[in-house]
């Protein structure tokens, strides 16, 4: 699709959450609703340009990468609302964290990704259950995870904060 053709139907490429996703939700050439066209026309020029740029970048991605992105997006939409909210809250906490705390969290995610699928699923379930436990019970449950026991006290504090803090709660070592 050329830049001019895109200017006539950008919402097709931008999808419902145009500012949030680079993956199109609607196949190219699909019908463009009057509401989406009106939203496009009401957008500030800077926002439209940002969407055009995202679309250009999307089209430059290799097909396999676009497929992976679309699959992750599909899986995200299938998550229960409570889980999506929790993950969004964790992302916001991490944005406010310092470099050392972010490094601990990255280490945690790297370790989780390295686990066999069944062990990773069990660890996720233990963490999910931990959200409803008292701090003492939660710590006991977490210590049953081998990678957690291998962390320093400071790393455990940071990981507990990241996994269980309320939105807006500051990291423990600020």
Q: Is 13 within 8 Å of 42 (Cβ atoms)? A: no
CA distance 65 to 140: 40
24 vs 18, higher pLDDT = 24
pLDDT tens-digit map of 95-114: 888 999 999 999 999 988 99
pLDDT given for residue 28 in this prediction? 56
């Amino acid at each position: 699709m050329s830049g001019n053709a895109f200017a006539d139907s950008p919402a097709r490429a931008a999808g419902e959450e145009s500012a949030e996703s680079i993956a199109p939700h609607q196949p190219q050439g699909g019908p463009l609703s009057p509401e989406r066209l009106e939203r496009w026309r009401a957008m500030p020029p800077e926002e439209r340009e940002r969407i055009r740029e995202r679309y250009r970048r999307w089209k430059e991605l290799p097909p396999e990468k676009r497929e992976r992105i679309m699959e992750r997006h599909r899986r995200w939409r299938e998550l229960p609302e409570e889980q999506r909210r929790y993950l969004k809250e964790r992302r916001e906490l991490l944005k406010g964290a310092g470099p050392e705390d972010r490094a601990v969290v990255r280490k945690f995610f790297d370790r989780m990704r390295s686990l066999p699928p069944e062990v990773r699923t069990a660890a996720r379930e233990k963490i999910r259950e931990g959200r409803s436990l008292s701090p003492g019970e939660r710590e006991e449950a977490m210590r049953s995870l081998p990678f957690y026991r291998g962390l320093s006290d400071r790393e455990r504090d940071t990981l507990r904060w990241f996994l269980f803090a309320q939105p807006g709660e500051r990291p423990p070592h600020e």
